């Protein structure tokens, strides 16, 4: 019996053919670098559970911004490291006009106006209990009181010049409330990137170490507001509601364990869909690479490509600068 005329391996036989036939491409322009920001302008602290990642003050942040622009990375996402003495049960530090995030945004936009600046809208870095909102006597996060606080926080970021406010709290109705206030205050071009499907994941541990919320959170969980890892249809409902309320972009978090969710959201709604390659995903790769169990460079690019292939328009990853260097190399 003659061999079939179609030989799939013909296209794989040479580098040029593989390059021409590639369906999914990854570039620095697809990446966003998260940064942990300290109050001390000259501060620099290693995050032990995230090899290669540091908490940085303004000087270090400017260095990262310069490197992002040189590498072709279009945006950074800011996450504050709030001193313990300014954390409280009502998270009032979150919307202080001269607080860490607004002042950092002003400085970044003044020096790097072409860099996209994304701010995290959530209360957990500011609460003494480590949860993402204002709680009642039983420790339950109060939705509507928290939304009021989130609106004030988002407005302080928009007034400072943030290009994108990114509510990551998973409170019901917060997108609509933030959009309404942005419009009322004249911030009609401020984008909302909604963490529309954020799962109650165990992959966030190193992040909580980095922002200093792990100790405050203790044994408390976030299952009453973040999504159950077993649910998929629910993610579509969450995304649809946020889009109806005025979200411009949506985020799926984490990325690798939820590639199916990225795909479903991308195909169902056709809106810019972002994914967060979270701290635990990053830390696992680094730990395996340090032991020689995985090839860091190849696995990193394969991982990020898989997230793009699933349908992500952009990826937040702590390895953004590293990946950009590999892609240009």
Of 87, 198, 222, 286, the catalytic one is 198
Annotation marks residue 253 as catalytic: yes
The Cα 267–Cα 8 span in angstroms is 27
The Cα 215–Cα 293 span in angstroms is 31
**Binding-site positions for Mg(2+):** 238
Per the CB < 8 A criterion, the answer to whether 72 and 202 are in contact is no
Strands 54-56 and 44-46 turn out to be antiparallel
Which token pair is 178? 């933030």
Q: What is the Cα gyration radius of the chain? A: 20
Chain position carrying tokens 């709604």: 269
Q: Which residues of 174-202 are buried (b: 16+ CB within 10 A; e: fewer)?
A: bbbbbbeebeeeebeebbbbbbbbbbebe
Cα dist from 319 to 119, 160, 256, 277, 296, whole Å = 19, 27, 14, 9, 11
Which token pair is 28? 């620095």
**CA pseudo-torsion sign 86, 87, 91, 94:** positive
Of 87, 222, 253, 286, the catalytic one is 253
**Binding-site positions:** 238
Annotation marks residue 198 as catalytic: yes
Residue by residue, DSSP assigns 86-114 as G-BSS-GGGG-TTSHHHHHHHHHHHH-TT
Q: What are phi and psi of 322, to 5 degrees?
A: -65, -45
Per the CB < 8 A criterion, the answer to whether 194 and 166 are in contact is yes
Q: Which residues are catalytic?
A: 198, 253
């Amino acid at each position: 019996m003659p061999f079939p005329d179609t030989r799939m391996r013909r296209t794989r036989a040479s580098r040029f053919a593989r390059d021409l036939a590639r369906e999914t491409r990854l570039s620095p322009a697809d990446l966003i670098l998260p940064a942990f920001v300290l109050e001390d302008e000259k501060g620099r602290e290693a995050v032990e559970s995230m090899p290669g990642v540091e908490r940085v003050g303004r000087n270090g942040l400017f260095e990262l911004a310069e490197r992002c622009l040189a590498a072709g990375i279009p945006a950074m996402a800011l996450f504050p490291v709030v001193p313990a003495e300014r954390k409280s049960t009502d998270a009032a530090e979150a919307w202080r006009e001269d607080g860490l995030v607004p002042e950092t945004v002003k400085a970044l936009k003044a020096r790097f106006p072409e860099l996209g600046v994304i701010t995290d809208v959530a209360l957990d870095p500011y609460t003494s209990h480590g949860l993402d909102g204002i709680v009642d006597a039983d420790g339950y996060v109060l939705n509507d009181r928290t939304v009021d606080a989130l609106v004030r926080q988002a407005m302080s970021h928009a007034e400072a010049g943030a290009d994108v406010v990114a509510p990551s709290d998973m409170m019901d109705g917060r997108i609509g409330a933030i959009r309404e206030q942005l419009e009322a205050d004249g911030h009609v071009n401020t984008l909302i990137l909604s963490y529309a499907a954020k799962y109650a994941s165990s992959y966030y541990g190193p992040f909580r170490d980095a922002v200093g919320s792990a100790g405050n959170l203790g044994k408390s969980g976030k299952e009453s507001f973040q999504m159950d890892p077993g649910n998929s249809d629910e993610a579509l409902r969450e995304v649809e509601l946020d889009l109806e309320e005025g979200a411009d972009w949506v985020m799926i978090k984490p990325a690798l364990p939820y590639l199916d969710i990225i795909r479903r959201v991308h195909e169902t709604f056709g809106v810019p869909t972002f994914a967060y390659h979270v701290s635990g995903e990053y830390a696992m790769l680094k730990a395996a690479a340090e032991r020689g169990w995985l090839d860091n460079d190849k696995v990193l690019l394969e991982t990020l490509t898989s997230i793009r292939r699933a349908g992500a328009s952009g990826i937040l990853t702590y390895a953004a600068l590293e990946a950009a260097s590999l892609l240009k190399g």
